[in-house]
Amino acid sequence: MTTSSRTLADWFSAFEREAFRLETLDDYSQSGGVAAYHAFLAGEVQPDDYRNAAWVRTVADATRSGKRMYRVHVLSRPLTDYLRFELAWGYHRNMAAGEEFFILDTTDQENPVPEAPDFWLFDDETVASMSYDDEGKYLGAEFLARGGAAEFTAYRDTAMAHAVPFAEWWAEHGE
């Protein structure tokens, strides 16, 4: 059930305080940036269209206006090729625009949010539950009815309590 007629893209400019993302998959390789992913695998330089993607402007516009955009990625080592790409290129690119990243590494600990789906949470009120196929292709977002955000706020709070800042994690485990 949707909470409004806004699309997911609309919410990135409509939110007022913060947008939080929980990522739980090891592979989003069919969901955008496919050419950049292949360039990464081939050892090439970052393509300009990836480095200057519309998403980077969206993040920069939001954070410049005082809004917070942040995410936790639940992962374990060894990293998949896709995660190596996302962390090395995507996270560093988005951090330069103001997005914050945290890693919940389950290599040596239980996943404290094993039932949590991928989602965006806007202003602790609006939840967009994300759907992907087995190949990492984005299928769409389902907006949950008002009143359903408490469960997702709890997922966020638990994930954040067990996560470490990306820069700290990357300094120890990055490639």
In a domain, 2, yes or no: no
Which has the closest alpha carbon to 40: 76, 79, 84, 97? 84
- Tell me, yes or no, whether 3 lies in a domain: no
- The pLDDT tens digits of the residues spanning 104-130 come to 999 999 999 999 999 999 999 999 999
What are the residues facing 70 on neighbouring strands? 20, 100
Domain that holds residue 61: 8-173
Q: Is position 20 within any domain? A: yes
Question: Residues 29-40: what's their mean pLDDT?
Answer: 91
Domain count, the chain: 1
User: At 3, is the pLDDT very low, low, confident or very high (cuts 50, 70, 90)?
Assistant: very low
pLDDT averaged over the chain? 94
If DSSP codes are grouped into helix, strand and coil, which group holds residue 69?
strand
Lowest mean pLDDT among 30-34, 128-132, 148-152, 166-170: 30-34
**What predicted TM-score, i.e. pTM, was given to this entire model?**
0.94
Q: What is the CATH number of the domain that holds 152?
A: 3.30.870
Q: Among residues 29, 32, 25, which one has the least CA distance to residue 8?
A: 32
